[in-house]
Structure 1
């Protein structure tokens, strides 16, 4: 074969190979979004803290489901609901009330997968720096901070127990505020911006443990009875195989395994257990009774 013919053949082969590689790259690029599993969470703590807590869990889930896992922060509680319903994310860490809102907004198209064992009997605490506040009734005429308006443990359930104690936060208190997050509630109480605050017991214990708050100065004066709270939720129409892989991944986390324990500790969990929508009927009833959910 003549040299010129060889060169022509080589050029054709090179062009063909380049075209093939370009098509393959374009196809991979087109397919890649479907291979990303997006996760979010209600912003009940600072964004940097949420990212820090999720990183090891995200890496663990990547191995278990065989997909790239990305954490997608949201601006507020309602945004987490809308993100899941509108398929902007695939799984969300909801509080009990946010789950009820998502279930209601989606017409029962949201499924809770797992919860921490601690979420079967979750509790809220009321805190203060004032010596004259020792019970819920002492809050009359005082200022109080909740967390987010859509928070189960930072608003709905504390409001519920106030109402049960014959205290209407909207009329019997001097002023109520919404800090937006549990750690911000503690800061508001410690800084004297409000007389008292309500938040979830898990964040309170974490802040005390990390010595970010002095319990001799800011103290708990009331702890609520237990109720169901947080869970990891997905859309009901999620692929059944993927749903099972996710559930199995969470349920397989074992505190006896050091790597797993590190993940569980960041999630403030002893272990994960299965959950179901029926577990949250009391939360739904409380939300309706408190006027926070219309039926």
Structure 2
């Protein structure tokens, strides 16, 4: 898997005041690197400022190099809050059963992945036998685990034997770039990033097309470390639930998160993800 360079070596601390009163705590926040580091920071900045106001705490974004780094940091209390995919949440929860998923975007309760290609002759997975294929990160729920699970379950396709070569781009936007450039005959990525790239004009839809979509599954959530104070945990959860699309400032934050609103979630929502991971041999 290719590791993408970090845009910043240090975290960013957000404050809405010119003079900061020293906070008793700093909320250390991170996210799985499923997009370019600069994009993750751009998306987080207004959310970090909002959380600073709501919680009356410093909020520090801590960039990481890869998916396992987020899992290890949250499970070992080096992070307080992290944006995880379904699979990375399962990995954290197995290391720390008290780690709590607080909220997810409304769409994360019915998430999908998109199979894409630039080959006009590819109409279905059946047309890809013997061709090259790109996943995102090996730890990605929507860019690897669930598409792999559905390929095996619904089409009896084992990628390593069905395709001539399987590669991991490391991130959803990188998968699109690979397919568009011809580095892979096809690939798969999450539906939200695909739509964002299309809307931003960052993918040539005359060349790259979606030819299949997975069934729905639970995906992303905001998870806190297990030993967090219950009061702070409740305040963080309520801050996300209070984001109101009718409020222009809140809508700007939600838009950057590709969210219509945030809703409550629970560990039970990810039992199917754990089952898929075990069937795929990704959990022992």
Same structural fold, with TM-score higher than 0.5 when normalized by the shorter chain:
yes
1:95 to 85, 100, 103: 85
**Aligned-partner Cα distance in 1 for 2:200–2:94:** 37
Match of 1:280 among 241, 246, 270: 270
Q: Structure 1: where are the runs of 5+ without partners?
A: 1-31
Q: 1:142 aligns with which of 106, 120, 131?
A: 131
Q: Which has the higher helix share?
A: 1
- What is the distance in 1 between the residues matched to 2:56 and 2:156? 52
Query: For the Cα contact (< 8 Å) 1:137–1:167, is it kept in 2?
Result: no
Q: For residues 33 and 137 of structure 1, do their structure 2 counterparts lie closer, same or farther at Cα, with a shift above 3 Å needed?
A: farther
TM (norm. structure 2) is 0.91
CA distance in 2, matches of 1:215, 1:287: 32
Give how far 1:207 is off: 0.4
Unaligned ranges ≥5, structure 2: 1-21
Deviation per residue, 1:143-168 (Å, 9 max, x gap): 00000000000000110111121111
1:103-125 deviation per Cα after TM superposition (whole angstroms, max 9, x unaligned): 1122x121101000010000000
Cα gap change, 1:163 to 1:286, in 2 (>3 Å): same
CA apart distance, 1:237? 1.6
- 1:227 partnered with 2:217: yes
Residues of 1 paired with 2:65 and 2:24: CA distance? 24
Matched, 1:129 2:118: yes
Greater Rg by CA: 1
Distance 1:89 1:236 in 2: 11
Counterpart for residue 188 of structure 1: 178
Residues 171-214 of structure 1: CA deviation (Å, up to 9, x unaligned)? 11100000000000000000100100100010000000000101
Q: How many residues align?
A: 263
> Could you tell me how far 1:33 is from its partner in structure 2?
8.2
Equivalent residue of 1:125, what SS?
strand
* Contact 1:182–1:199 under 8 Å retained in 2: yes
